[in-house]
A and B are shown apart, each in its own frame.
Chain A
Amino acid sequence: MGRYLAGRLISTLVVLILVSFISFCIMQMVPGDPAQIMAGAAAPPDEVQRIREQFGLDQPFHVQMLRWYGGMLRGDLGTSITLSRSVVAAIVERLPSTVALAGFAFVLTLVFGLVAGVGAALKQDSWVDHTIMTLAVVGVSVPSFWIGLIMIIGFAVMVDWLPAGGYVTIAESPSGWFRSLILPSIALALLQMGLLARITRATMIEVLRQDFVRTAQAKGLSRWMVVGKHAFMNVMVPVVTVIGIVFSLLLSGSVVIETVFSIPGLGRLMATSIVTRDYPVIQGALLITAAMFVLINLAVDVLYAYLDPRIHYD
């Protein structure tokens, strides 16, 4: 256990350093003069020069890299070009609405994904199974932003049941907050729901074939006890491992979904920053989301090793 943790920590650290390097390289990949592109084609030369100096773009590669890592260790990811505030402040400001949206979508994913997957597995090869699995594969095939727009047409344009977009903070109005998150979180959750339902079904079918399930049935336990206690607990193990992937997909989806529903979150910050070529914000958002993903995976693995003593690091 101790050696496993040590190994896991070291590889996490290596990945974090690499993640940061890749984020740093985004600005280096810009063809031509990044300062000119950030300032805009019509900017006067002294403005371009000011930006070049501000971001150290006139320095050699290794100096820029040291600046980046040095800043990162102090919690400083630079300054936004368009928002006149630090990148960290801009991201922290927008985090709550993304967390709320992703949280809603995560709950939807977990509840409907698990129920659908277990239900399909228990009724394997029946019409229930076929219907659920068809819906699941459709769920992983439709673009989330398109479903979002279709839902806006259905629930906000044709009938005025839910807002077509915008975000209400929970402090302003709890019910408004809830209503503003319904459509976007459904649109965001569909892909992960389909994915989780498919994984859960496959795992459940495998678990139900195991000897200990047959033993439980043979000793006369009720169907509910067998499925609910013995089988389901074992299904949860692989499900825990996909939580990292689900989280990553939620953040990916938030870029388009927050754009469709005008939610002022991290995803929309990213989408507007690519239009304004605000590279420091793009770099910062990349780094922070990837670092969160790496740390969540670390936590999942540690939890996993704690729960299942058979796991060794190799």
Chain B
Amino acid sequence: MRIARHRMAMIGLVFCIAALLMALFADVLATHHPERTRLRDAFKGPSAEHVLGADHLGRDIWSRVVYGSRVSIGIGVATVVLTGLIGAAFGLLSGYFRNLDDPLMRIMDALMAFPGVMLAVAITAALGPSAVNVVIALTAVYVPRTARITRASVLVVREMDYVQAARALGAGHARIILRHILPNSLGPLVVQLTFVFAYAVLSEAALSFLGMGPPPPTPTWGNIISDGRDYLREAAWICLYPGLAISVTVLGLNLLGDGLRDVLDPRMKVTQG
């Protein structure tokens, strides 16, 4: 595995695994119940009792950040899976069946014309704030970009000799697409999905910050920051730590994505809307 020798990618992988472990073992790592309020502790700074301090309702910030990782990373994973499936399907269809290409790609162009966060905000505003609706909204934002990248590699792979050979041997469309084209177009898709994960975590945080994420008292990294916004003067720690958690997770994913790109797809450029 060449990726194992990519130092930055390995640093990124460590960050990602740390975030994943935090989400998986939230109940072990948390010192308090993330939603239990205790007004006596309101605005208490970091101490032995509350390692990262407490918020305006006396809730433990460390425990909220730890449990918040479940929502933020869960939404990221769900978005990546959905985007991967739908984006790959659109990309394969568009790249393989030339008469589907134009209509599908015009729809993708139209979706890509909206500034990503604005479209996601509008969709969650229509459907209502919840984790599922955030996943739907983010999928709508990232499917077009993923479909385009898959399509681009399908266009190259479909002209390869082994695809012609398979066709000459009488293989059907489904077999050619799934057995020959998909496996050979996977590299750019994997790279793209790593970046989609990073952008999904960032966008989820923005949506939650705007009040369009899972409703309170469920902690998400974005809504903890939103809670702390009114108390910058008295309790800066409320905002500080969830933001660090977002940054470290996204940084990890970006470093991993860069490494995967160097290894799997050296010609791909960094462009992402």
Interface residues of A, Cβ cutoff 8 Å to B: 11, 14-15, 18-19, 21-22, 26-27, 29-31, 137-138, 140-143, 145-146, 149-150, 152-153, 157, 164, 195, 198-199, 202-203, 238, 242, 245, 248-249, 251-253, 255-256, 259-260, 270-271, 273-275, 277, 279, 282-283, 285-286, 289-291, 293-294
Is there contact, CB below 8 Å, between B113 and A146? no
Summarize B's interface: helix, strand, loop or mixed: helix
Could you tell me the distance in whole angstroms from the C-beta of B191 to the nearest C-beta in chain A? 14
Summarize A's interface: helix, strand, loop or mixed: helix
Residues of chain A within 8 A of B233, CB atoms compared: 157
Residue on A nearest B243 in the bound complex, by CB: A146
Could you tell me the distance in whole angstroms from the C-beta of A75 to the nearest C-beta in chain B? 19
Q: In the complex, which of the residues A149, A242, A255 contacts B206, with contact meaning CB atoms closer than 8 Å?
A: A255
Q: In the complex, which of the residues B115, B127, B128, B239 contacts A149, with contact meaning CB atoms closer than 8 Å?
A: B239
Cα distance A137–B12 when bound, in Å? 11
Could you tell me the distance in whole angstroms from the C-beta of A83 to the nearest C-beta in chain B? 16
Q: Which 8 A-B residue pairings sit nearest by Cβ, starting from the closest?
A: A18-B110, A146-B243, A252-B117, A274-B125, A141-B251, A252-B115, A251-B115, A290-B113
Residues of chain A within 8 A of B270, CB atoms compared: 195, 198-199, 202
Is there contact, CB below 8 Å, between B205 and A150? no
Interface residues of B, Cβ cutoff 8 Å to A: 106-107, 109-111, 113-119, 121-128, 198, 202, 205-206, 209-212, 222, 225, 228-229, 232-233, 236, 239-240, 243, 246-247, 250-251, 254-255, 258, 269-273
Q: List 5 A-B contacts (CB under 8 A).
A: A19-B113, A143-B247, A199-B270, A199-B271, A282-B126
Residues of chain A within 8 A of B229, CB atoms compared: 149, 260
Do A255 and B118 contact each other (CB < 8 Å), given the known contacts A143-B202, A145-B225, A245-B273? yes
Residues of chain B within 8 A of A202, CB atoms compared: 269-270
Cα distance A139–B215 when bound, in Å? 29
Could you tell me the distance in whole angstroms from the C-beta of B225 to the nearest C-beta in chain A? 6
Residues of chain A within 8 A of B232, CB atoms compared: 149, 152-153, 157, 164
Could you tell me the distance in whole angstroms from the C-beta of B244 to the nearest C-beta in chain A? 9
Residue on B nearest A137 in the bound complex, by CB: B254
Residues of chain A within 8 A of B119, CB atoms compared: 286
Is there contact, CB below 8 Å, between B206 and A19? no
Cα distance A137–B247 when bound, in Å? 10
Q: In the complex, which of the residues B115, B121, B125, B258 contacts A277, with contact meaning CB atoms closer than 8 Å?
A: B125
Cα distance A72–B232 when bound, in Å? 43
Q: In the complex, which of the residues B107, B251, B273 contacts A137, with contact meaning CB atoms closer than 8 Å?
A: B251
Cα distance A301–B200 when bound, in Å? 29
Is there contact, CB below 8 Å, between B110 and A31? no
Residues of chain B within 8 A of A22, CB atoms compared: 110-111, 114
Cα distance A11–B118 when bound, in Å? 23
Residues of chain B within 8 A of A195, CB atoms compared: 270, 272
Could you tell me the distance in whole angstroms from the C-beta of B243 to the nearest C-beta in chain A? 4
Q: In the complex, which of the residues A203, A249, A289 contacts B114, with contact meaning CB atoms closer than 8 Å?
A: A289
Residues of chain A within 8 A of B222, CB atoms compared: 143
Cα distance A273–B246 when bound, in Å? 26
Do A146 and B246 contact each other (CB < 8 Å), given the known contacts A19-B114, A199-B269, A275-B211? yes
Residues of chain B within 8 A of A11, CB atoms compared: 106, 109
Is there contact, CB below 8 Å, between A289 and B115? yes
Could you tell me the distance in whole angstroms from the C-beta of A114 to the nearest C-beta in chain B? 15
